[in-house]
Each structure stands twice: as C-alpha cells, then as structure tokens.
Amino acid sequence: MKPQFQADPFRPHAISKADQIPATRYYDPEFFQLEQLRLWPRVWQMACRFEELRDDGDFVEYRLLDQSFIIVRVDRHTIKAYENTCRHRGMRLCEDRGNANKGFNCPFHGWHWSTSGDCVRVFQQSYFNDETIRAADIRLKAVRCEIWGGFVFINQNPDAAPLRESLGTFAPMHEARNVDQLHARFWIAVRVPANWKATLEAFMESYHVSRTHPQLMAALDSPVDDAESAASNGANTAQAVRYASYRNGREVITGNISYLKNLSEGMGHAMVIERDIEVAERIRDIDIPEDPALAGIAWRRALNDAIYQEGLRLGLPMPDLNSLPDELNSPVNYAFPNFFLLPFFGNMASYRVRPLTTETSLMEIWGLEFFPPGAEPPRLTTPKVLEIGDPEIPLIPAQDFVNLPRQQDGMHAAGFDVLRLASSNEGLLSNYQRLIDGYIQGVSEKDLLQGITKVSGPIDAPIKDLGLPMSGL
C-alpha cells in the first residue's frame, strides 16, 4: 500500500508549528495523494447506517475516492464488508443499494457470489485453469466491518485497533445517550467546493458562530464585542445585544426558547426537534429565580426534566438528561477522521465529510431521533447530491457552506503560507491534522491509537500533545 516516491513529497506540507497549518495541505495534489494512500486505507470509516440493512441480503455501496465497498447483511447476526470488485476482471459488482439475498452476480460474465463472499459459480468453469480460480483466491475480498452506535464502520487496515477502542471517549459519551437506538429522520448530501479538511474544520470550532450564524448568538450569552462584530456583518444588533444581557429570569426563558427555535429550524429540526420546542413552550411560565445566572441553571434543569418525562410518556429510550455528567453534555463531538455526532436533549445530528477531488468534498447530514414504539422510521435511500446554495439545505450548514469556496479560493494566495490557529479553542484543527501527519509518516499503530483517543471528542479543544514522535508538538 505504501507508495514509493523519489523524493519526500511530505516535507513541504508537514506541520512544524502546532498552531500553524501549511495552506498547501488544502490544495496540493501530492498531499492529497499521500492522504489517499496512507491515511484513508488505515482508518475506521463510517460506511452506512445500520438501519439501511434491515433485511437479510440488503446491501449498500460505500465509496471513498477510487475505492468502493459493499456492506451487506448476511443474516440477522452478521454484517460483512467486501471490496466491490469482481474477482474475474475487476468489474464493479454492485451500485448504490439493493437486496442480494440470491447473492451477487457480476453483470459482465456472470460469476456469482453468496453474501458470505464465496464464489458459487464461475460461468463455463472448464475454460479456466484450476489454479487460476482456486476458491480461496476468488472469494470476495473482505474488509473489516464493525458496528457502533447504529452506524457500520469499515477499515481496510488489518492492524488497526478495534473500532470502539479507536473511538476513545467519543464512544461512551454517546452510549450514555442511547445512540444505538436512534433512527434517521432525514439524510442530505451536499457537494462542497472545498478540500475535505476545510469542510470538516468549518464544524470543529464555535469561534465562527457569532460571525457566520449571528441568529444563534441569542443563547450563547455572548460578550458585547461579539454582538458588535455581528452588527458590522449586518446582523440584528438589537437582538444580539438583548440576548447577551438578560436582565431577569423571564428574559432567560424567552431568550433560550428563541435560541432553541433558531437552532431547530436552522438544523432542519435535527438536534432540537419540534417536540422539544413544544415542551419548552408548555413549561415557559414556571417559577424562575430573578437572577439571570440562577435562572439559567433552573431553566435548563426544568426543561431537561420535562423533555425526559415527555420521552418516557411516549415510550422513548430517552436518557435522563439531568443525570448525565457535564462531560457528556458537549453538543458537538468529533471522531477521527471525518465523523461527528451532535447530541442535544435526546436527539442528535450526525455529519460525515468525504473527499471527492483535491478541492471538492461531500458533506452529509443526518437528523437522528428516537421513534416511539410502533412508529416506522423512514426507509433510507441515497440522497441526491445538492449543490451549495440549494434551498433544501438547512440555514445553519448553508451559512457554513457559503464560507467554504471563498476560503478554498483565498488559501491559494501566493503570500498565504499558513493558517494561524487560536491555540485555546481551534486546537482540534491542529490536533487531527498532526495525527494525519502521523499516518503519512508511518508512525506505529500503537502511537496512532494514542493520538486518536486524544483527538476524538468535543470540538473547541485546545492544542494537545498527541505523544507522537513527530513534527509540531
């Protein structure tokens, strides 16, 4: 798998100062190729939702650059993943999704495989030398496949640590919220004219929120300079300043409900769903302390409890939100290399970002919810790929997407050498990029695993020492 290069193509792009990221990493084709050869084949990739494989034989295709995989439900207890390639002359066996309970049949010359990967028919077998078509050599090429949290992940790397270990603290954070019992209510896909890392990084810090999503400033209790910066960006200053300085408990409630509505609508009703807003409206007249700080705490507890009780009433596997420790209450969490979960109250959104070309990427968003017993979650189909600016994209990610082509373009400036990060809250951008360097440099699996577990978790993290014997820190 490792490429043989004449010179070391990594050097000019390597991170040597942890808070400064060379701009070429976002557009240089050689660096993109290094990622393709040395990063992607060695990491756990979220390949599909488990619920896409409802019946025996259900399969989906998962693609990353020139690699395509089949994820198939063999039986009630078994999910398998294979390279999506015919062992005869390399034809792609399947496309998109379907049911293969009769097996996979190659459309070129008709070889046939069972869903367990055995080749059960070579058409006109007598034409071939026996040793060319030995059963063991023409099985579908299996790749590792593990399920966590209602998602199926694959990994081409036989030496990688098991999935759950590789997710580090990201796994228990969401297990405590019964992540595996969520179902997708919607799934959208957007082609973004930006390198996959730029797209990913637009969701790795909340530093951009006051400027990019001024409508969300409401409940962030933002300092006044953020309000002013939003104003200069054409935001509604009066609203921003008012929310930044609640005068009493009643204003805290009004401001918070307004924030929750903005967040819910802006995310296509993922994270905060309509039912959460209805519950908030229902209890908005509760007794509340005058002091805004005390009111904020009291309101949060009351709302958490009301949403929990409503969940119990509906028979949902809703976690008791007030009993979750603080460290499990982070609303935006990242798992290396390209996956996010965004829990809020009981439900979540999820993101996945994949490279398409050096300077384009595919971002997908799922709205995940608990469905009451007996309710049938929608059957998922592959979403049509939207272009940025499409009115179907919810407002908040749409605002993020507006920035990305401009950033991608701007990074090409001859005098723009490095991205300069805030070491206290843009550190995640550096941490995961230095981990990528670990993969490119061929650091040991053990060291990489240690790095992954430090990188995966809440966004807005500071720059960390990953313990990697390499550049940066």
The token duo for 24 is 């070429």
Give the number of other Cβ atoms within 10 Å of residue 294's Cβ.
Answer: 13
Residue 109, interface with ligand FES (CB under 6 A)? Answer: yes
| Dihedral-angle region of residue 374 (phi above 0 means left; psi in -120 to 50 means alpha; beta otherwise) | left
AA letter at 278? E
Residue 106, interface with ligand FES (CB under 6 A)? Answer: yes
Residue 100, interface with ligand FES (CB under 6 A)? Answer: no
Min CB(98)–ligand FES separation in Å: 17
How many angstroms separate the CA atoms of 125 and 130, rounded?
Answer: 9
Q: Which does 58 bind (CB under 5 to 8 A by kind): Fe ion, ligand FES, none?
A: none
Q: Which stretch binds ligand FES (CB under 6 A): 23-31, 84-92, 256-264, 344-352?
A: 84-92
How many angstroms separate the CA atoms of 390 and 374, rounded?
Answer: 34
Cα separations in angstroms, 21 against 38, 209, 280, 419, 432: 19, 21, 43, 5, 11
Give the burial string for 356-366 (b: 16+ CB within 10 Å, else e). bebbbbbbbbb
Is-cis flag, bond preceding 337, omega within 30? yes
Give the residue, chosen from 23, 91, 220, 231, that forms a contact with ligand FES under the rule CB under 6 A: 91
Min CB(396)–Fe ion separation in Å: 6
Rank residues 121 and 406 by Cβ distance to ligand FES and give the closer one. Answer: 121
Phi and psi at residue 71, in whole multiples of 5°?
Answer: -110, 125
Give the residue, chosen from 27, 108, 207, 371, that forms a contact with ligand FES under the rule CB under 6 A: 108
Q: Which does 109 bind (CB under 5 to 8 A by kind): ligand FES, Fe ion, none?
A: ligand FES
Min CB(138)–Fe ion separation in Å: 48
Give the residue, chosen from 310, 400, 426, 437, that forms a contact with Fe ion under the rule CB under 5 A: 400
Rank residues 109 and 301 by Cβ distance to ligand FES and give the closer one. Answer: 109
Cα separations in angstroms, 433 against 166, 202, 454: 17, 14, 13
Q: Which stretch binds ligand FES (CB under 6 A): 83-91, 316-324, 384-392, 456-464?
A: 83-91
Q: Which does 308 bind (CB under 5 to 8 A by kind): ligand FES, Fe ion, none?
A: none
The token duo for 468 is 């990697």
Rank residues 109 and 412 by Cβ distance to ligand FES and give the closer one. Answer: 109
Q: Which does 400 bind (CB under 5 to 8 A by kind): ligand FES, Fe ion, none?
A: Fe ion
The token duo for 18 is 């942890």
AA letter at 93? L
How many angstroms separate the CA atoms of 328 and 380, rounded?
Answer: 29
Q: Which stretch binds ligand FES (CB under 6 A): 109-117, 144-152, 225-233, 287-295?
A: 109-117
Rank residues 110 and 172 by Cβ distance to ligand FES and give the closer one. Answer: 110
Cα separations in angstroms, 416 against 183, 410, 437: 43, 8, 21
Q: Which does 91 bind (CB under 5 to 8 A by kind): ligand FES, Fe ion, none?
A: ligand FES
Where along the sequence are the contacts to Fe ion (CB under 5 A)?
Answer: 400
Where along the sequence are the contacts to ligand FES (CB under 6 A)?
Answer: 86, 88-89, 91, 106, 108-111
